[in-house]
Amino acid sequence: MLSKPEASTEGLVARVEALERRNRRLTWLLSTALLLAGSAVAAGSALAPARVIRAQAFLLVDSAGHVEAALRDTAGSPGLRLFNPAGSAVAWLDGNPRKPGLVIHSPQGVEQRAP
């Protein structure tokens, strides 16, 4: 038969071990639940496209970062400009209400405006 101090120590050790097992299970369950919830949120946000994109300008750049095309509001009117490798505008579509149209610059610098 165990003496009273030994019995209480063994009982205490058994209770602590049981609590530690429960704590490990609870920690594992909560970690798994948080991981699943986080994955669901991340997957949901990745699948939902934005309905409206707002910006003052959109620039199309090549792999070196040079601007090849620009869609922007210039002086209160929308316009699309295309650029050559030197960075000069070679064509643009202008939405200016006073002078709308398509403008093309030839390599010689001659400007042609479509009616």
Whether residues 79 and 105 fall in one domain: yes
Whether residues 18 and 62 fall in one domain: no
| Contact (CB, 8 A) for 84 and 90 | yes
Which domain range does residue 27 map to?
A: 1-49
Is the confidence at residue 1, as pLDDT, over 60? no
Whether residues 4 and 23 fall in one domain: yes
Of 29, 49, 69, which one is at a domain's C-terminal end?
A: 49
Mean per-residue pLDDT of the chain: 81
Whether residues 76 and 107 fall in one domain: yes
Whether residues 37 and 72 fall in one domain: no
Q: Exposure pattern of 18-31 as b/e (b: 16+ CB <10 Å)?
A: eeeeeeeeeeeeee
Binned at pLDDT 50, 70 and 90, residue 14 comes out as confident
Binned at pLDDT 50, 70 and 90, residue 99 comes out as confident
Rounded-to-integer distance, Cα 37 and Cα 97, Å: 52
Give the distance from CA 110 to its chain's centroid. 42
Give the pLDDT of residue 45: 63
Report the 10 Å Cβ neighbour count for 89: 16
Give the pLDDT of residue 44: 66
Count of domains observed in the chain: 2
| Contact (CB, 8 A) for 72 and 79 | yes
Higher-scoring residue by pLDDT: 5, 19: 19
For 63-92, what is the mean pLDDT?
87
